Structure 1
C-alpha cells in the first residue's frame, strides 16, 4: 500500500464527501463526537490518520464503487475505471468524476499494474494542468465550482427579478382581461336582446306572409299547368302545313271573332294576316271591359291558356257568342270546320 499516495488522495476528498465516507464506514474520529462541515477543516490531519489506520475499510469502499459522474448519465464501477487507459481517465475526470474515486479504484485493486497506472495517471494529470500536487488540482476545481455556484446565484437573482416583473405584468394583464371580459358580457347581452327582438319581428312577418305564400303556390301551380298545356299544343301543331294551306281561302271568315289567349303557332299567325284577332293572355285584363271586346260578335276563350281569375274579369254582351276551348285540339277542329264551310 502506497501510504503517501493514499494520504494525498484523502487530502483531495471534498469535505461533504469525506464526512459521508467516514459515516458510511462507521469510523470514529478521536476528539470529535460528530464531524460536520464546520469542524472537518480543522480536523483533517486527525481524520487522515484515522482513515489510514482503517485502510481495510477504505480499500473495500473504493473496491466496490458504483457512482455516476456529474456530467455523465451512466453508472461507473471500480472495474470500469480500472479498464481505462490514462488518457481515458483524464476524460473521465473532466466529465465530473472526482480524483479520489479514480485513484481509489486503481489503488484498491490487488493488481500491481493498476497501482502503476495510478502513478502514471498522477504524473499525466499534474503535467496537463501544470500543478505540483493533486491538492492544487482539486483546489483549482473547487474554485471553478465556486465560481459556477456564484454565477448560478447571480443568475438566480436575475431570474427572480425577471419573475417578479412577469408577476406584475401578469397581474396587470389579468386586470385588463377582467375589464374586457365584463365588457364582452355586456356586449353579448345587448346582442342577445337585439336578436330576440329580431326573432319576434321575423315571426310576425312569417305569420303575415303565410297566406300570401299559399296563394303564390296556387298561382304558380296553375301557371305551370297552363305552360305545360301550351308546350303540348305547340308540339302537336309543329307540323300543321295542311291546315295552314287552307287559310288562303279565309279572307274575312274570322274578322268577327276575337280569340282570348295566344297559342303562338303557324296556323294562328297566318289567320291573323287574314283578319283573325288574337289577344295575348297577359293583355286580357287591359281589354276586358272596353269597347274593343264589345266590337266582336264571337268571343273564343282558350281555357288552357287563360287563368280562371282572368275569365271572371271578362265582360260579355248579351248579343255576343261565347266559345270555350279546353284544349288546342278542339280549337283546331273548330277552325277547320269554319274554313271547310
Structure 2
C-alpha cells in the first residue's frame, strides 16, 4: 500500500492518541526530546513523516495487523460489510484502527472496502478529508446507566487494547533482536570483506614480484642468447683462421720437403743419389733419418687429406706405408691417387730389414 494511503490513516489519529502511539512505536523526532500533549500539534507533521519511513512503517503495519486480528477473534461470526464498519465507527471504535486493520491486511477486497468506507464517511459527515473527523473521535461518549451494550463494548476494547499492547511489545522485542542479528551479520560481512581485500592485496603483491622475476629472467636469457651467438661467431672465425693456418703450414712443409729432395749436398757430388721415399705413418724411429740409401719424408695421418689434394705423392721416388698405423680407408685413397707402387709394411722390424738390404 502506498505512503499516501497510510498518511490518510495517520491523519485520523487524535492528538492524544498519537502521543500514546509515539511512545508505543518508539518513534523519535528531531528537535523534540519527548512528544507530549503540549507539543504534539507542532510535532504532528514530523511524527507522521517519521512514521512513514520504511523501517517504522513495517512495524506499524504489524501493529495494525495484530489489532485487527484481536477484533476478529470476538466478532468472527459477523460478516465484514460497509454497514457493519459504519456501525463499528458509530459505536466508538477509532477510525485509524478500522482503516489501519483493513489496509494492513493487504487483501484487495478489504482495501476496496476501506475505500468505500472513506467515501461513505466523507459523504455522511459532509467533510472534505478524513482528518476533519478527528474532533468527533475526541468527544467523550457519556455513559448512560441503561446503555449496557456500550459499557460492555468499552470493556471489551480495553481488553483488546491491553492484549494488543502486549503483542506489540513482543513484536518490538523481535524487531530489536532481528536488528541485533542484522548488525552482527553486517559486521561479520565487513570483517570478511576486509580479509578478502587483504588477501587480494597480498596476491597482487605476489603477482607483481613474479612478473618482476619473469622480466629479469627474460632479460638474462636474452643476454645469454646474444653472448652465445657472439661466441659462436668468434669460434667459427677462429676455426676458419685455424684451417687457413693449417693449410699454410702444410704448404710450407711440402715446399720444404720438395726443397730437400731437390737439394744435393756438396760432399755427395758424383755419388749415387738417394731414393726419395714418402713414408705414410710415423714409426717414431731414428732409422728413418739415418738411412744411407734413402731420404725418408714422414707423412703423418692428419696431413694425408692435404697431401691428396697436392702433387706431393708424385714428387717422391717410392711410397712406403705403415699399415698398422694407417687406416684401410686412407690406404685405399692413397693407392687410387698415385700411379706409383706402394710398399706396405705390417710392422717396423719388416721395414728395418728392407732398408738394411738396400
Do Structure 1 and Structure 2 share a fold, with TM-score over 0.5?
no
Look at both structures and tell me which one has the larger radius of gyration over its CA atoms: 2
Please, what TM-score do these two structures have when normalized by structure 1? 0.38
